[in-house]
Amino acid sequence: CPLMPSTYKLIGARELALMKLGACLVNTARGPIVDTEALVAALAAGRLAGAGLDVTDPEPLPPDHPLFGMENVIVTSHRLCWTEQMVWGLGSADMQGMIAVARGQVPANVVNKDVLDRPALLAKLERYRRLAGE
């Protein structure tokens, strides 16, 4: 979905309320397509089970943004690519990271290593490890 005047905050409180209860929102297109305040409210209210965000509004989010404190949100670093080799390489690296997390393991390329000691992250990884049967 490209960002243009007609798609700015395309997904807002109304659209989030129309989603199936317990759904997850994933945005890998453009941050401003999703109304960040409405997303935070829907997540806090338990309307959505979670969110996976490769892009945000604003980008980058300030360190104290509420999304970073939510256990049901994953924010990844947005990457721009211009060559086929970059796309395949980055896609592969991202997939390896997602597979590691799904297995309850720490992904290889964590930028903010301070999060690795957080009890909530450790509990989340343990939960995924149990689900994966490892």
Residue positions annotated with a catalytic role: 30, 59, 78
Give the separation between CA 92 and CA 86, rounded to whole angstroms.
Answer: 10
Let me know the angle formed at the C-alpha of 101 by 117 and 38, rounded to the nearest 5 degrees.
Answer: 85
